[in-house]
Amino acid sequence: MNSMNDNERVELNELISALTDGRATVAEHSRLGEMLEASEEARRFYVRSMAMSASLFGYAGEMQSERPEPKNVIAFLGWSRWAAPLAAAAAVLFGIWIVRFFAGPNQPGNAEEQPESVAHLSGSKDCKWIGAAPAPGDEFARGRHLEIESGFAEVTFDSGAQITLTGPATLDVRSAWEAELLRGTLKANVPPEAVGFRVINAAVEVVDLGTEFSMTAEEGGAAEVFVLKGAVEVQPRDQGGGSGEQPRSVLREKQARRFAKAGVSDVRDRDKKFQRFTAKIAVERMAHPLNYVRWSFDEGAGEIAGAASNTATDSTIRIGKNGAQWTQGRWGGALQFNGQPAVQAKLSGTATRGTRSVACWVRLPAEASVSGAQSFLALPLNHPPQSWAEFSWNSLPGEGVLGALRMQTRQGAAVGATSLRDGKWHHVAAIFGPSAKKANKAPTKLYVDGRLESFSVKSLARRGSDKMPASLDGTLWLGGQPGGSAGVMMAMDELLLVDRPLSPPEIRHLMQTNQLISADALAVN
């Protein structure tokens, strides 16, 4: 047998899946061996399938993480440690890799990890909480249980989805992309960047396709879904312990369904309920003040890129005669880097310390060389002292998607999942650094074109030294690695540093308008 027929292809797929999941019988294993021996086509399918599973082990370890590094692993990361004896280095390297590549949530290596925030309280109105009341802006970690007796509470997820709870209601925050409504009513507003956000409960799973919908969950387990705008995908959940998957369906604007143990049915008093859910809920949002410094790169000529700031800050970037060139940007002008060593700028005032968010537009050549420089921005961090965050595009396929946004700090590297290496402008934003409340916690969030990136935080040896010399502390580096002899080939526009985490709506607004959102706009947005 060399070429297989359709039945044999189906059989082969089943056998490989059984083998992968560790449930293949001796007879099945033997049959698979026969097929592999007889057919080149079978061997090719098998090799590609197993390589895919090997990749999935890696992605599962990486993409679920969004977690800071365990301290005992971080301790190994200093580059100088690799001067240790070869065998020890190799053992450590492979040991770390295996732990990190495959580590699941229950692995001992994760025991010291702290829960990372995936959402925050962005607004409320007349809200009476059951249990400790969170303050406006408080962050919620995975698994956070929220319960309100009355009033309204608005939760913004890191994916950009916003949920307004109407009390009495109980909601579990499961991730940046998922919530569980245990009882009560919610209204979900999901921008295009958060398509795929889902709300589940005992009766139904609702996957948003870019829309606004409401959902009510009754104590008895039934739920009703109302689509106010756009469309959602709904799938009844098996409440009877059956083995089959329930069929999915799509609900469109003005459609509603009731999901219960008895099955799926129409909603009673549908029009009355729609009228109630379409009424605007005017939650009160608190505008958190921020300090910023931004470079528009609109000069178009000369050797200086001026900075604008809402504080008395002089953070002018001196490009020099042979530095970057001026070019057409995403908004006005931009800087084009052509491989020269990085441009340095001494930051002053609030720009020196406390950066928590950075955003800019970048354009990488589609054929950017993997052997060339990849770093395009390095920023001083306030913790630990004399450390910095370095932004680049990922050139190591073993660490994530080639061309994806990569952020490296002393704690490790975060690599996104969207390739920037396509010759187009992309808006990138990162939230990083320890917050004042949690000095030992360094959450990292990456956004590309307004969409939250899945990423890995990896324990890989960093390139370059671990500590910025004191004389260079407080220095911003553009277009290359600090101290590097050659720089990156790419264009950059509208660089912005902010001293607090930007929320997903703020990042989206910045991307769409090139303006920071005002307090008034935030209140009605």
Partner 1 sequence: MPEQPADRTKELVLLITQHQRRIFSYIYTLVPDRHSAEDILQETSLVICEKFSDFRIGTDFAAWACQIAWWQVRAARTKFARSKVIFDEKVLEAVAATAAELAPEQTARHEALAHCMQKLNPRDRDLLMTRYESGVEEAAKRTGRSLVAAYKALTRLRKLLHDCVTNALTSEAMA
In the complex, minimum distance from the CB of residue 111 to partner 1, in angstroms, rounded to a whole number: 16
DSSP per residue over 273-297, as a string? HHHHHHS----B-PPPP--EEEE--
**Longest Cα pair distance anywhere in the chain, in angstroms?**
77
Task: State in angstroms the smallest separation of the CB of 96 from partner 1.
Answer: 10
Residue 264 found at the interface with partner 1 (CB under 8 A): no
Using CB under 8 A as the binding rule, whether residue 1 contacts partner 1 is answered as: no
316 three-class SS: coil
Size of the site for partner 1 (CB under 8 A): 80
Min separation Cβ 438 and partner 1, Å = 26
Q: Is 382 helix (H, G, I), strand (E, B) or coil?
A: coil
Specify the stretch interacting with partner 1 by CB under 8 A; choose among 191-199, 266-274, 306-314, 351-359.
Answer: 191-199
Between residues 286 and 402, which has the closer beta carbon with respect to partner 1?
402
Our measurement of the distance from residue 347's CA atom to the centroid of its chain's CA atoms, rounded to an integer in Å, reads 28
| Residue selected from 58, 134, 433, 501 as contacting partner 1 according to rule CB under 8 A | 58
Residue with tokens 């958060």: 194
The reply on whether position 51 binds partner 1 by CB under 8 A is yes
Residue 362: Cβ-neighbour burial (10 angstroms; 0-12, 13-18, 19+): buried
Q: How far is the CB of 488 from partner 1 (least distance, A)?
A: 19
Q: In the window 373-402, what residues touch partner 1 (CB under 8 A)?
A: 396-399, 401-402
Looking at the Cβ atoms of 87 and 439, the one nearer to partner 1 is 87
Of the two residues 61 and 134, which places its CB atom closer to partner 1 in the complex? 61
Q: Residue 507: which H helix or E strand, with range?
A: helix 504-513
The whole-angstrom separation of Cα 95 and Cα 89 is: 10
Measure the N-to-C terminal CA separation of the chain; round to a whole number of Å. 64
Would you list the DSSP string of 193-222?
GGTT-EEE-SSEEEEESS-EEEEEE-TTS-
Report, in Å, the least distance between residue 106 CB and partner 1.
Answer: 7
Query: Residues 115, 142, 235, 306: which binds partner 1 (CB under 8 A)?
Result: 235
Rounded to whole angstroms, the Cα distance separating 8 from 42 reads 9
CB of 340 to partner 1, least distance (A): 25
Cβ proximity to partner 1: between 378 and 417 the closer is 417
Q: Which CB atom, from 149 or from 245, has the smaller least distance to partner 1?
A: 245
Closest CA to 381 of 405, 361, 358: 358
Q: Does 57 bind partner 1 (CB under 8 A)?
A: yes
CB of 3 to partner 1, least distance (A): 15
The CA-atom distances, in angstroms, between 348 and each of 293, 315, 380, 400 are 10, 6, 11, 35
DSSP assignment of 111-149: TTPPP-EEEEEEEEEEEEESSSPPPTT-EEETTEEEEEE
Residues 425-464 that bind partner 1 (CB under 8 A): 460-461
The residue from 8, 11, 233, 473 that contacts partner 1 (CB under 8 A) is 233
Beta carbon nearer to partner 1, 20 or 514: 20
Q: Indicate the residue among 203 and 522 with the shorter CB distance to partner 1.
A: 203
Closest approach, Cβ 467 to partner 1, in A, equals 18
Distance between CA atoms of residues 322 and 320, nearest Å: 6
The DSSP 8-state label assigned to residue 454 in this structure reads P
Rule CB under 8 A: choose which of 1, 50, 250, 308 binds partner 1: 50
Looking at residues 9 to 48 of the shown chain, list those that interact with partner 1 (rule: CB under 8 A).
13-14, 16-17, 19-24, 26, 29, 33, 36-37, 40, 43-48
- Please select the residue that binds partner 1; options are 112, 149, 238, 271, rule is CB under 8 A: 238
Q: Is 297 in the site for partner 1 (CB under 8 A)?
A: no
The CB-of-444 to partner 1 minimum distance in angstroms stands at: 19
Amino acid identity of 211?
T
Told to check if 198 binds partner 1 by CB under 8 A, we report yes
Handedness of CA 159, 161, 167, 170 (dihedral sign): negative
Examine residue 417 and tell whether it contacts partner 1 (CB under 8 A).
yes
> Within 13 Å, how many C-alpha atoms sit on residue 340's CB side?
17
d(C-alpha 198, C-alpha 74), whole Å? 34
How near is the Cβ of 452 to partner 1 at its closest, in Å? Answer: 12
CA distance 223 to 217: 4
For residues 178 and 506, which CB has a smaller minimum distance to partner 1 in the complex? 178
Strands, E, within 465-516: which ranges? 475-478, 489-498
Beta-bridge partners for 42: none
Q: Does 89 bind partner 1 (CB under 8 A)?
A: yes
Closest approach, Cβ 180 to partner 1, in A, equals 11
Which CB, 370 or 521, lies closer to partner 1? Answer: 370
